[in-house]
């Protein structure tokens, strides 16, 4: 085993402050001389830094009480969710208006979507029975 | 200081074992947070399971009051129980459902998207840690996230200190491979 292999095995223990003083000093001296081991040490630091990205739910984080967690986390998440729900509600209202417009069109006239992002094809392929107030399929097929 | 804490905990526990409920409540307030936090990581962030494990850990401490002997710190004892309960929990768990490409509609430029992206990295790290072999995972969690010394980790896991050092080293090497896509190629390079 080369001195570098040996040194790299102890880099984690050095970062954790677990090496005896003398061995830590020897390893640090090696790092000053060896660019490869310095790079290895820095990459080890990067991995450990990345590991910090794993966040626990707020109530499990150090020093955070349940009350803190409720105060700080919920309003932010709730705001974001409410914003999305409002946008979705507007989209639903818009779609309902378009569906109503489609129903009012006389047969044979060409429909062009106006406000919604829903495509003409997707409207056409929706099962009629799923649309609100749609006539029963049987009536459409045989009732004419 | 560590020794003082041991004495305090043991005195407190003797009082609790003698029926002093307030002493037990004090032990709960001292150690419940760390037990729940470690359990939460050991079971992959499932806070509900972690709460159950923490509760069961203290219940077992209470039930073992007359047999408890101070070998290490009370914290080590509690974490050993939590570690074993978490291992049992994970063995009982079924594989998780594959949600496929459920995130393909997420707008990463929005606030929600950025929050999701942060969570995605957090989840990637969590998954990488959870995929570590049991013995490496426990060592990594106790050492990295709780900042525990190898001596105490050895007490919790029940292995020599040298084994703790070697498992930590192996865990970091494995994480480095698994998290490679998230590591900037230029990061960590020193002249």
Mean pLDDT to the nearest integer, A75-93: 73
Residue A132 has pLDDT above 50, yes or no: no
- The region of weakest confidence among A77-86, A106-115, B86-95, B103-112 is B103-112
Q: Do B47 and A59 touch (CB under 8 A)?
A: yes
**When comparing pLDDT for A118 and B183, which is higher?**
B183
Position A93 pLDDT exceeds 70:
yes
For residue A76, what pLDDT band results from cuts at 50, 70 and 90? low
Q: Give which of B156, B168, B115 is closest to B31, Cα–Cα.
A: B156
Is B23 an interface residue toward A (CB < 8 Å)? no
Task: Lowest mean pLDDT of A89-103, A125-139, B43-57, B160-174, name the range.
Answer: A125-139
Chain B residues 143-162 with CB within 8 Å of chain A: 143-145, 149-150
Q: What is the pLDDT of residue A36?
A: 92
Regions of chain B with pLDDT less than 50: 1-4, 6-7, 97-106, 108, 185-191
Q: What is the pLDDT of residue A119?
A: 53
- Beta strands per DSSP E along chain B: none
Contact: B188, A38; criterion CB under 8 Å? no
pLDDT at A88: 84
Q: A75 and chain B: CB distance < 8 Å anywhere? A: no
CA distance B168 to B20: 40
How many angstroms separate the CA atoms of A62 and A121, rounded? 53
The pLDDT of residue A108: 59
Query: If you search the block for the tokens 């498992």, which residue do you land on?
Result: B167
How big is the A-B interface in CB pairs under 8 Å?
94
For B106, the closest chain A residue by CA position comes to A84
Query: Under a CB-based contact definition with an 8 Å cutoff, are residues B26 and B12 in contact?
Result: yes
**Nearest residue in chain A measured CA to CA from B42:** A56
Rounded mean pLDDT of A1-16? 88
Q: What is the pLDDT of residues A26-57, one digit of tens each?
A: 999 999 999 999 999 999 999 999 999 888 77
pLDDT score recorded for residue B170: 95
| Binary contact (A45, B122; C-beta < 8 A) | no
The pLDDT value given to residue B105:
47
* Angstroms from A29 CA to nearest CA on chain B: 16
Find the mean pLDDT for residues A70-92: 67
Q: For residue A13, list chain B residues with Cβ-Cβ distance below 8 A.
A: 150, 165, 168-169
Higher-scoring residue by pLDDT: A108, A131: A108
Chain B: give the shortest CA distance to residue A6, in Å. 12
Please give the ipTM for the structure prediction: 0.73
Binary contact (B189, A39; C-beta < 8 A): yes
| CA neighbor of B137 nearest in space, from B115, B164, B106 | B164
Residue among A44, A55, A62 whose CB faces B122 most closely = A55
- Residue pair A56/B41 in contact (Cβ under 8 Å)? The answer is yes
Contacts (Cβ under 8 Å, ≥6 apart) of A119: A113
Q: Model confidence at A130, in pLDDT bands (50, 70, 90)?
A: very low
**Reported confidence tier of residue A103, pLDDT bands at 50, 70, 90:** confident
């Amino acid at each position: 085993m080369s001195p570098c292999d040996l040194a790299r095995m102890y880099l984690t223990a050095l970062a954790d402050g677990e090496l005896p003083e003398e061995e830590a000093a020897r390893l640090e001296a090696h790092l000053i001389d060896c660019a490869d081991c310095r790079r290895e040490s820095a990459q080890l630091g990067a991995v450990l830094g990345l590991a910090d990205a794993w966040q626990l739910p707020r109530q499990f984080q150090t020093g955070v009480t349940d009350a803190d967690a409720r105060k700080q986390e919920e309003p932010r998440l709730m705001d974001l969710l409410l914003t999305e729900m409002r946008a979705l509600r507007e989209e639903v209202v818009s779609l309902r208006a378009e569906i109503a417009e489609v129903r009012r069109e006389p047969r044979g006239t060409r429909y062009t979507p106006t406000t919604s992002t829903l495509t003409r094809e997707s409207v056409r392929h929706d099962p009629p029975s799923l649309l609100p107030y749609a006539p029963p399929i049987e009536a459409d097929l045989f009732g004419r | 200081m560590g020794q003082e804490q041991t004495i305090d905990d043991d005195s407190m526990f003797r009082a609790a074992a003698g029926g002093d409920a307030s002493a037990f409540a004090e032990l709960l307030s001292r150690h419940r947070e760390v037990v729940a936090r470690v359990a939460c990581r050991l079971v992959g962030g499932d806070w509900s399971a972690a709460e159950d494990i923490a509760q069961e850990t203290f219940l077992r401490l209470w039930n073992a009051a007359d047999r408890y002997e101070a070998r290490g710190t009370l914290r080590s004892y509690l974490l050993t129980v939590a570690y074993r309960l978490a291992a049992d929990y994970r063995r009982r768990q079924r594989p998780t459902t594959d949600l496929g490409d459920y995130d393909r509609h997420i707008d990463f430029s929005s606030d929600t998207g950025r929050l999701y992206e942060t969570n995605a990295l957090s989840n990637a790290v969590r998954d990488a840690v959870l995929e570590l072999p049991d013995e490496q995972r426990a060592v990594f969690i106790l050492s990295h996230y709780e900042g525990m010394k190898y001596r105490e980790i050895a007490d919790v896991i029940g292995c020599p200190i040298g084994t703790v050092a070697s498992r930590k080293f192996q865990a970091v090497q494995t994480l480095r491979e698994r998290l490679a896509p998230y590591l900037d190629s230029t990061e960590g390079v020193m002249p």
